[in-house]
Structure 1
Amino acid sequence: MFALASGLIALRFLPALPSAGWLLLMLLAGLLLLVSRAWQVGLFVLGLSWACVQGQRALDDRLADSLDGRTLWIEGRVVGLPQHTGASVRFELQGAMSRHGTLPTTIRLSWYGGPPVNSGERWRLAVKLKKPRGLINPQGFDYQAWLLAQRIGATGVVKDGRLLMAASHAWRDGLRQRLLQIDANGRTPWLAALVMGDSSGLSRDDWALLQATGTVHLLVISGQHIGLFAGLIYGLIALMARYGVWPRVLPWLPWACGLAFAGATGYGALAGFEVPVQRACVMLGLVLIWRLRFRHLGVWLTFLLALNAVLLVEPLASLRPGLWLSFAAVAVLIFTFSARLGAWSWRAAWLRPQGLIALGLFPLLWILGLPISLTGPLANLMAVPWISLVVLPTALLGTLLLPVPALGENLLWLSGGLLDVLIQGLHLLGGVFNPWSPAVAPIYIWLLTALGVLLLLLPAGVALRPLGWPLVLLAVFAPREQIPHGQVEVLQLDVGQGLALVLRTRNHTLLYDAGPKVRNFDQGERVVVPALRSLGVGALDVMLLSHADADHAGGALAVQRAFSVGRVLGGDVPGLPEQLQAQPCVSGEGWEWDGVKFSLWQWADATDSNQKSCVLQVLAGTERLLLTGDIDARAEHALLKSSLAVPTRWLQSPHHGSKTSSSMAFLKALAPQAVLISRGHANNFGHPHPHVMARYQALGLQVWDSAEQGAVWFRLGANGKAESMRDQRRFWRD
């Protein structure tokens, strides 16, 4: 079972999938090994082969290149629960058809300013389709991997549409609409998330609270909810049998197992049977069978059977952090609770699990780049029993009794009030510590930390157990690579249609622009802040906002909330939020950090925000970098009369490669060797313009494009080459 699971999980780490010929050879080799003494290797190869077949099927179901970026009329049926946020709605369309070609099985769409969309409806839509893509940053969320794991073959924005057929058999959406009309002490969106898995009603502040307290898993239906509900049914029947209330003619154990599984699958149906819920139901079913018939086989075999069952049904689940975290949490509990010489007291059995899970999941959260809640164990110590024993039963019972309005609505009102009590307590805990994101460390440091965690999970009395603490503390005090004096590390983040660059000398950090904010998508919060934390940045010395446009300064407030910022400079201060307390960019101002020189320039005759962009020149050794914001050709002409008009190896492409910038005179005067372009894939502005790219090619410049290569980093002053996230091959990336 372990060999088979290892083969299925290995898909996650492949840089590329094998060709059809190699895949056939793998299958034959696996079958031959299966009947030999090396049958364990055969199971590994067969598991990997099956996972590769499913991975290739998902890749083949993506949007064709010929349809990428085109606007088409398509027809299809809405599935799942559409997520309404303000004036926009996000939903999934299945079985979509178009006369222009074959479309993927599932398409994820966004409609801004459109009418309400309900599950089960059939629509005819004009949609601009795109192949699945995502931003690629160090320790960032891999949206493209998530889409593949969901088997979503295209994304798109709806331009127009009309309803062809009303919803049919969409009982979940109807129940959700009914639930959202209930007065639940102001916590109706929370109840919808808890009962039906519909988290679209939760605000950004709600998510921040859950993340800060490590309780996200309690409000997003997962294996824990399924297990808790099943355990509640099982425990109730066991208690009735113990006190003689259960009918003697009915054997309590089979009935407890059967009703627990029925209740869990019913809850799963209410939640839409998403992949995490499917995974939980499979695992629960195997555990109940083990409890009923096969306890002599041991719990680890059941664990591996459940893992293999999930991965055989959906090998792409290994691309989602949820699989790793849920099975790891169960493994920690099995490892710490089973095979002990003495039983724990009821107090220890209640207090210890949350601390053990927090400790056991720490290395996994670290390597996955997920924040670690320092108040999580204490918050979960209160929240888990409160949700499982008080809030969830009343919420589910109230939902079940909605046909009896007075009873069902009152129960939901009570459940909302009970949930509000918990939320108020979480607010008190959430303000104590911010989530911690350990800086990225060498792999050997991570392995030593993981070893330390394993030692600490061993039973008391094991000889080497005390060595676990110093190994775990390596995560806090790990030696990190020092940037040499006179050099600066430059990281251009992949923020889509916007700009954000991190410049770090030996002892200082500067952020040039903070990424875009468009509607609810704040790349300062989603990309810039996590990237800075992964670099071990504790504070910013300077945040320089080239100008006030939202694609450059939109994420600034999120960055300022997350970090202490010594000084904020702006090229267009009146257009920036007052909370930033920005100071104006002054031409000629400069400073030196750790042997690296920084110089500012701004066109005095600028008339619009783009032209007011604050230009930054960085000199490290014999290398120069010029960050230009969104200046146009007229501002470039003015810059050529300044002291910054000197040979510059690295140039940030002005205005994302717009046709109004990167004039030939400007390029020839600076004579750059490499150009950095930060822009969104297939953006509406046509950046970079073909004429600009033709100039770059004519001059033989090396182009580093975030839309094609993801985040890019290099060491200024070392006269080396740049590297990009695309250099780290993954089979799901083009």
Structure 2
Amino acid sequence: MAAFAVGLLLLRWMPILPPVWWLYLQLILGLLLLGSRAWRIGLFLLGIGWACLSAQWALDDRLELRLDGQVRWLEGRVVGLPSRADGVVRFELEDIHAPRAQLPQRLRLSWHDGPRVLAGERWRLAVRLKRPRGLANPATFDFEAWLLARRIGATGSVKAGERLSPASGPVAWRDQLRQRLLQVDAWDRAGGLAALVLGDGSGLQDRDWRLLQDTGTTHLMVISGQHITLFAGVLYGLVAVLARLGLWPRRLPWLPWACAMAFIGGLGYGILAGFDVPVRRACVMLAVVLLWRLRFRHLGFLTPLLAALCVVLVVEPLVVLQTGFWLSFGAVALLVLAFAGRLGAWRWWMTWWRAQWVMGLGLAPLLLALALPISLSGPVANLVAVPWVSLVVLPLALLGAATLGIPWLGEALLWLAGGALELLFQVLAWTSAQLPAWIPVQLPVWAWSLGAMGVLLLIAPAGVPFRALGLALLVPALFPPQQRLGPGQAEVRVLDVGQGLSVLVRTREHALLYDAGPRRGDFDIGERVVVPTLRGLGVSRLGLMLISHADSDHAGGALAVRRGLTVDRVLSGEPERLAPDLEAEPCAAGAAWSWDGVDFLVWQPPPGGDSNDSSCVLVVEAAGERILLSGDLGVRGEAAWIASGQPLAARWLVAGHHGSRTSSSAAFLRAVKPEKVLISRGHLNAYGHPHPLVASRIRALPAEIHDTAEQGHLLLRLGAFGEPEVEREKSVFWREK
């Protein structure tokens, strides 16, 4: 099983997938080796062959290139539970049919100002289709991997539609139950109750998820192995207690019945929760553990864990792309390691406390590897939150949902559950304020490996030699060596923020952020991309945040950056239009300074233009190599910049207004004479950026275009006169180049 599991797990690190014919040959070779002395190699080949073949089938089901960006009429059935936030309805579609086009089996769609969409309905829709694509930045959420893990072959935005048939079947009943739950008066925590009962987290607000992440309690509000195991354990324990009291029928052996009832109860709860991938994983683990308890206890606990791992990976090899898979199996393995070899009995509170600190410390290397925040308050928060949710909130929520048909009873139980949940969130908010989450710096492999070894030593059972050495091995992970720039050198990173702009400039001792990306409703790029990227790069303090002007695609994420990092000073071309909390100062045209041998200059056109021509622009020069960042400066502003007499020649230019035809005039390009032009924009954006006229002007210089929509995050080292490093050139099999 170990050899087989290793082969399945290796899919996560495959840079590219082998040809299909090679995969079939590998499977045949693996089967042939099973009858020889090299049967372990055969199992390994079967594992990696099956994983790669399954992943290739998912890649082949992606939207065809010729359909990317096209609007097509299609029919399909709504699956899962649709969500609505900020006027946008999001849902997934299966059983899809379209004339003269072969579409993927599963689509994820959004409908701005769309009507109510229910699970189980069938719709005819006009959809602008897009191939799966996400923002590509270091140490941030990988949307493309998430889509592939769910086997979603395309995304799209709905332009028009009509309902062909109403909702029907179990999915419709589940959606109706969700609507009932969301309408209950439960201390404004109806969304949290729906998450616990049905596994639907769409009713939780972004601030709730941030609080759960900061306190390491996210697992409590999504249907996970803990919830399935708790419900199954109650049923198992009920039969065991009845048998011990002599109340269980003697003609029925209690152990098989306890295991059967536990599995049926856990499976039923999983079906109620939608039977999504994490729930299926939990049900598989429950089934294996119950089978081990019934017939195979003599084999030890590692055997069922390994068996569950193999079964989960065979059923869906792409779960290796999901963080929940690694965290759930990692947590169980840590508990087995921590309590293995224990002599004597512990008091219950000692066992409970050891489990919490083992989870808090032991999962840290996994969280580091997955680029997730590490909750410093997690062990303490879970010490209270886990039993509170498991023994108070969840039973009340399930009983309330089951008795909604009984007047007053269901509503009263849900009201109590909502009050208990609200009290928990207040405690978590206080805990998070005392110990905020830590976003660690990306570690080199050797430092991470030493830290992981140190953690394993610290949580090992007493009696394992050299346990104290674990503390020493943690030092490189807690205080990682950082590569510092030399005097006169600058590092410029153009972040992939979609249809917006955010550029980080670092010198040896200082950091500057030019614009902070967009914010649309609750989706804040500053919070989701800019802050995690900067913290992952070791930037916790900004000497200056320069917001070119107040348009949302440049200033939307500024408040999140101000709250997430220490910012010494904020400048802007339109400070009066920004949030007062930013405390922005006006941009002083002609102001210049030097940081660590790198020269900076800001400039702004005279007043009188529109918002775009109020952009405060930035010039950075290191060792004779210059870059111009022009915000959304239009043709009028560019002409004023030329007329100012300032030297504009630069090797690098960040194109104004994302490549719009209102910027990058021929006269301005001739004045700058850039060798390379950087364009920050969204893939298949609605504005058609970059405009073909602008692209033709740039190529006529001639100059080379680098585009975040096509290449992702761009890194250039100013002063080295080299080529940019492109995020999408990093080899992972699921990401489009």
TM range (shorter): over 0.9
Asked if the contact 1:612/1:631 (under 8 Å) is kept, the reply is yes
Normalising by structure 2, we get a TM-score of 0.97
Asked if the contact 1:617/1:644 (under 8 Å) is kept, the reply is no
- In the alignment, which residue of structure 2 is the partner of 1:318? 320
Q: How does 1:303-702 map to 2 (within 5 A)?
A: 303-642=305-644, 644-702=646-704
Matched letter for residue 26 of structure 1: Q
Normalising by structure 1, we get a TM-score of 0.98
Instruction: Choose 306-315 or 56-65, whichever is displaced more.
Output: 56-65
How far the C-alpha of 1:164 sits from its partner, in A, is 1.2
How far the C-alpha of 1:519 sits from its partner, in A, is 2.2
Instruction: Choose 175-184 or 373-382, whichever is displaced more.
Output: 175-184
Matched letter for residue 610 of structure 2: D
Q: Cα gap change, 1:115/1:355 in structure 2, threshold over 3 Å: closer, same or farther?
A: same
How far the C-alpha of 1:605 sits from its partner, in A, is 4.4
Q: Cα gap change, 1:399/1:605 in structure 2, threshold over 3 Å: closer, same or farther?
A: closer
1:180-225: CA deviations, max 9, x gaps? 2222233211100111011111112111211111111100111121
Q: How does 1:282-293 map to 2 (within 5 A)?
A: 282-293=284-295
1:209-260: CA deviations, max 9, x gaps? 1111111110011112111221222223323333334333332211211111
How far the C-alpha of 1:342 sits from its partner, in A, is 3.3
Number of residues of Structure 1 aligned to a counterpart in Structure 2:
734
How far the C-alpha of 1:643 sits from its partner, in A, is 5.2
Asked if the contact 1:606/1:635 (under 8 Å) is kept, the reply is no
Secondary structure in structure 2 of the residue aligned to 1:162: strand
Asked if the contact 1:639/1:645 (under 8 Å) is kept, the reply is no
Matched letter for residue 432 of structure 2: G
Secondary structure in structure 1 of the residue aligned to 2:643: coil
- In the alignment, which residue of structure 1 is the partner of 2:50? 50
- In the alignment, which residue of structure 1 is the partner of 2:264? 262
Instruction: Choose 121-130 or 134-143, whichever is displaced more.
Output: 121-130
**Alignment partners' CA distance in 2, 1:30 and 1:649:** 55
Matched letter for residue 718 of structure 2: L
- In the alignment, which residue of structure 2 is the partner of 1:152? 152
Matched letter for residue 41 of structure 2: V
Secondary structure in structure 2 of the residue aligned to 1:200: helix
How far the C-alpha of 1:92 sits from its partner, in A, is 0.6
- In the alignment, which residue of structure 2 is the partner of 1:36? 36
1:58-96: CA deviations, max 9, x gaps? 111111112111112211111110112242211011112
- In the alignment, which residue of structure 2 is the partner of 1:100? 100
Asked if the contact 2:518/2:557 (under 8 Å) is kept, the reply is yes
Instruction: Choose 187-196 or 637-646, whichever is displaced more.
Output: 637-646
Q: Cα gap change, 1:357/1:185 in structure 2, threshold over 3 Å: closer, same or farther?
A: same
Asked if the contact 2:181/2:190 (under 8 Å) is kept, the reply is yes
**Alignment partners' CA distance in 2, 1:507 and 1:482:** 8
- In the alignment, which residue of structure 2 is the partner of 1:274? 276
How far the C-alpha of 1:320 sits from its partner, in A, is 0.5
Matched letter for residue 669 of structure 1: A
Asked if the contact 1:500/1:515 (under 8 Å) is kept, the reply is yes
1:721 to 720, 723, 729: 723
**Alignment partners' CA distance in 2, 1:239 and 1:724:** 62
- In the alignment, which residue of structure 1 is the partner of 2:68? 68
- In the alignment, which residue of structure 1 is the partner of 2:710? 708
1:394-427: CA deviations, max 9, x gaps? 2112212222233222222222222222222112
Asked if the contact 2:8/2:50 (under 8 Å) is kept, the reply is yes
Instruction: Choose 167-176 or 279-288, whichever is displaced more.
Output: 167-176
Q: Cα gap change, 1:644/1:291 in structure 2, threshold over 3 Å: closer, same or farther?
A: farther
- In the alignment, which residue of structure 2 is the partner of 1:215? 217
Matched letter for residue 246 of structure 1: W
**Alignment partners' CA distance in 1, 2:477 and 2:729:** 26
Secondary structure in structure 2 of the residue aligned to 1:36: coil
Asked if the contact 2:650/2:673 (under 8 Å) is kept, the reply is yes
How far the C-alpha of 1:710 sits from its partner, in A, is 0.7
Instruction: Choose 76-85 or 600-609, whichever is displaced more.
Output: 600-609
Matched letter for residue 626 of structure 1: L
How far the C-alpha of 1:548 sits from its partner, in A, is 0.8
Matched letter for residue 238 of structure 2: L
Matched letter for residue 249 of structure 1: R
1:603-632: CA deviations, max 9, x gaps? 114411111111100011111111110112
Instruction: Choose 154-163 or 338-347, whichever is displaced more.
Output: 338-347
**Alignment partners' CA distance in 2, 1:599 and 1:417:** 55
Are residues 1:202 and 2:204 paired? yes
How far the C-alpha of 1:644 sits from its partner, in A, is 4.0
Matched letter for residue 24 of structure 2: L
Matched letter for residue 494 of structure 2: Q
1:143-201: CA deviations, max 9, x gaps? 01100100111111111111111111111011111222222233211100111011111
Instruction: Choose 223-232 or 258-267, whichever is displaced more.
Output: 223-232
1:364-419: CA deviations, max 9, x gaps? 10111101111111110111111111211121122122222332222222222222
1:21-75: CA deviations, max 9, x gaps? 2223322332233232222121111111111111111111111112111112211
Secondary structure in structure 2 of the residue aligned to 1:525: helix
Asked if the contact 1:618/1:625 (under 8 Å) is kept, the reply is yes
**Alignment partners' CA distance in 2, 1:187 and 1:554:** 28
Asked if the contact 2:86/2:522 (under 8 Å) is kept, the reply is no
Instruction: Choose 476-485 or 663-672, whichever is displaced more.
Output: 663-672
**Alignment partners' CA distance in 1, 2:484 and 2:432:** 33
Q: Where do 5+ consecutive residues of structure 1 fail to align?
A: none
Asked if the contact 2:339/2:461 (under 8 Å) is kept, the reply is no
**Alignment partners' CA distance in 2, 1:342 and 1:480:** 46
Secondary structure in structure 2 of the residue aligned to 1:691: helix
**Alignment partners' CA distance in 2, 1:349 and 1:245:** 31
**Alignment partners' CA distance in 2, 1:643 and 1:19:** 58
**Alignment partners' CA distance in 2, 1:344 and 1:481:** 47
- In the alignment, which residue of structure 1 is the partner of 2:134? 134
**Alignment partners' CA distance in 2, 1:350 and 1:245:** 31
Secondary structure in structure 1 of the residue aligned to 2:363: helix
Asked if the contact 2:675/2:703 (under 8 Å) is kept, the reply is yes
**Alignment partners' CA distance in 2, 1:24 and 1:701:** 46
**Alignment partners' CA distance in 2, 1:161 and 1:344:** 62
**Alignment partners' CA distance in 2, 1:26 and 1:696:** 49
Asked if the contact 2:86/2:521 (under 8 Å) is kept, the reply is no
Task: Provide the identity percentage.
Answer: 58
**Alignment partners' CA distance in 1, 2:385 and 2:135:** 34
How far the C-alpha of 1:602 sits from its partner, in A, is 0.8
Matched letter for residue 63 of structure 2: L
The root-mean-square deviation of aligned C-alpha atoms, in Å, is 1.4
**Alignment partners' CA distance in 2, 1:383 and 1:703:** 52
Instruction: Choose 428-437 or 314-323, whichever is displaced more.
Output: 428-437
Asked if the contact 1:438/1:475 (under 8 Å) is kept, the reply is no
How far the C-alpha of 1:461 sits from its partner, in A, is 3.3
Instruction: Choose 131-140 or 720-729, whichever is displaced more.
Output: 720-729
Matched letter for residue 462 of structure 2: A
